[in-house]
Amino acid sequence: MANFGNYCLILALCLSLYALIAALAGISRRQPRFVRSAENAAYASTGVIILAFLSLVYLLVTDDFSISHVAGTSNRALPVFYKIAAVWGAHDGSMLLWVFFASVYSALAVYQNRRRYRDMMPYVLAVLMVNLSFFLLLNLFFSNPFHHLARIFADGSAAPFLPADGQGLNPILQHWAMVIHPPVQYLGFIGFVVPFAFAIGALCSRRLGDTWIRTTRRWTLLTWIFLGVGLILGGKWAYVVLGWGGYWGWDPVENSSLMPWLISTAFLHSVIVQERKGMLKVWNVILVLLAYLLSVFGTFLTRSGVVSSVHAFADSNLGNFFLIYMAGVLFASLYLLIERREYLRSERRLDSILSRESAFLFNNLILVVACFAVFWGTMFPVFSEWVRGVKITVGPPFFNNIVIPIGLLLLFLTGVGPLFAWRKTSVKSLRRSFFRPVLFALPACAALIAAGMENFTVVCCLTLCAFVLVTILEEFLKGAWIRIRRKGENLPVALINLTLKNKRRYGGYIVHLSIVLMFVGFTGNTFNRETTRWMEKGGRLEVGEYSLTMSGYEEGTTENYDFGKVVLDVSKNGRGIGTLKPEKRVFKTGSGQATTTVALRSTPKEDLYVVFAGVSQDGSDFEIKAYVNPLVYWIWFGAAVMVFGAVITLLPDRKP
């Protein structure tokens, strides 16, 4: 089966290269039959890549430990669910997952446009095949998951080697969130190749109006959803598995996922200006180029070893290939952009600084600045080592000091944008639009201060949340009120029909509402409390309003790991509210790595977060860490609202 998988990868590479050559031949000779042949080759390449992917899944499920990837990421006791997840448990399998999704995206994009944009599609197909061929080359020759293990003897001869069992999947990856997180994250990363391909196709074919924008907006929105969900799942995993009490640590690989998400957010806003006003054409091409390059850059970070991260594959040697590829893409794209600049002239100029166009422009600039700040902080240790020979690390305080003010400014623009009119807003109209949001925001600010809130950032954030919330609600209520008067609908029906009639606009407002909810959750981080204590049976630990009493200790074993649980009776303000059992697991395979399983009691007000950190040498005392983390619930709830709003926006509007 391993040989079959290898043959599939070789055939896929040949087919993708043929598709590239046939597409270019169709362009140069203006022969549609060549282009159709290239499309068929792209479909066939996708088919054999799917077979290669299924081959690796089969090898993992059947415990074929003669294959290096299977021996390094799986073992006999591993549940089937995690054996399948072991496909992306090491860099060679994760590269195959990347190739798998890239081929499926390419085939879907080609099929979706098989009868449209025929002058543009050969270029689009060529770009898609360049991307696919590059990753296939890496997967086949430098990161192959189908390598056989061999024993090397003293005389230099070799013989096949079959270990009795495998090393097992990395224990910290054996969690439902990390099973889902990598595929979802890859769907986000890889999806940017389709908008990028259409942008290059538009430049090459000189079709630089709204055509490529309309085609790629939904693709970008879909990948934006996947990338956002991937970020949230990664944060959830860090929160409940790593046992450090937080959900975001500004890890370099976390940052590499955040950067293309920020740029794609800017693009989704700026395309509205191009569609309505014919402006920001050059800017939109640049944003798509940046989103694609940053998605490849994220893969480079995980496989180059230039940064230290819990997510990185430090033993990979693919970094230089990624650098060369990114440089080639950048220079070719910039050349095309300069060559076609005459076709990218804006149809209108900015009429007034007090306009919705300017609000979108400021929103875009701040998102790009935020992306650059994250990039600089992520790569600063590398830059410092290149320049000074000393690696200077940058921690969370650096990112917080820079990104928090930027985030507050973005939150403000989220509320201000809908208050501006297109082209120009009169001062009188602006005063009328700001009246109600400010009327609610100022008392909210005063109430926070009167309640003893002294942290300026928190007061500012919650005040802005109130301002944006009222702005969004006002937009919904104004539209609903018009429907109530004209059609006689009640309020719930009017709100539903209003949203369904203009999904893009009101779905976007729902996404803005989710941002408010998540920012409320972020403010809770300021008020986190934690306590650490060694406890024996009957011992008590106090944290905030909670009291934890140790009532027992449980031990057990499974085929995959041994575990111990501390049983804690929890009371709040003297009233019993339940039992928590934080767990520690020691895995039987590999190096016997230990992991924690957090015990969590979550409410909209706060999380009680308990970690079983260790046992004394004589086994009589247990180290317990307890955290009270306010408002974390609203981050996860806000994320769910964000996905809901984005899915609504993704659906087509009703046609008359």
**Across 591-602, average pLDDT:** 85
**Per-residue pLDDT tens digits for 414-439:** 888 888 888 787 777 878 888 888 98
Per-residue pLDDT at 458: 93
**Across 626-647, average pLDDT:** 95
Of 22-26, 171-175, 544-548, the poorest mean pLDDT is in 171-175
Per-residue pLDDT at 656: 43
Per-residue pLDDT at 135: 95
Place of tokens 């539209």: 479
Residue 305's pLDDT band, with cuts at 50, 70 and 90, is low
Per-residue pLDDT at 165: 83
Residue 316's pLDDT band, with cuts at 50, 70 and 90, is low
Per-residue pLDDT at 590: 61
In percent, the amount of the chain with pLDDT more than 70 equals 97
Contact 221, 650 (CB under 8 A): yes
Cβ within 8 Å of residue 102, ≥6 positions away: 131, 132, 135, 190, 193
Contact 632, 607 (CB under 8 A): yes
Per-residue pLDDT at 638: 95
Cβ within 8 Å of residue 90, ≥6 positions away: 69, 72, 73, 145, 313
Of 7-16, 200-209, 258-267, 547-556, the poorest mean pLDDT is in 200-209
d(CA 597, CA 582): 6
Per-residue pLDDT at 591: 63
d(CA 195, CA 213): 8
Q: How far is CA 380 from CA 54, 196, 206, 346, in A?
A: 40, 28, 39, 36
**Per-residue pLDDT tens digits for 31-75:** 889 999 999 999 999 999 999 999 999 999 999 898 999 988 888
**Across 115-121, average pLDDT:** 87
Higher-pLDDT residue of 100, 620: 100
**Per-residue pLDDT tens digits for 521-570:** 999 999 999 999 999 888 999 998 999 999 999 999 988 888 999 999 99
Per-residue pLDDT at 614: 87
Per-residue pLDDT at 207: 83
81: its two tokens = 């669910």
Average of per-residue pLDDT values in the chain: 88
Q: Is the pLDDT of residue 169 over 80?
A: yes
Cβ within 8 Å of residue 481, ≥6 positions away: 494
**Across 127-154, average pLDDT:** 90
Helix (H, G, I), strand (E, B) or coil at 63: coil
Residue 374's pLDDT band, with cuts at 50, 70 and 90, is very high
Q: Report CA Rg, the chain.
A: 27
Angle between helix 252-277 and helix 211-241 axes, rounded to 10 deg: 150
**Per-residue pLDDT tens digits for 459-514:** 999 999 999 999 999 999 999 999 898 888 889 999 999 998 888 889 999 999 99
DSSP alpha helix (H) spans, 451-534: 456-487, 491-501, 503-523
Residue 396's pLDDT band, with cuts at 50, 70 and 90, is confident
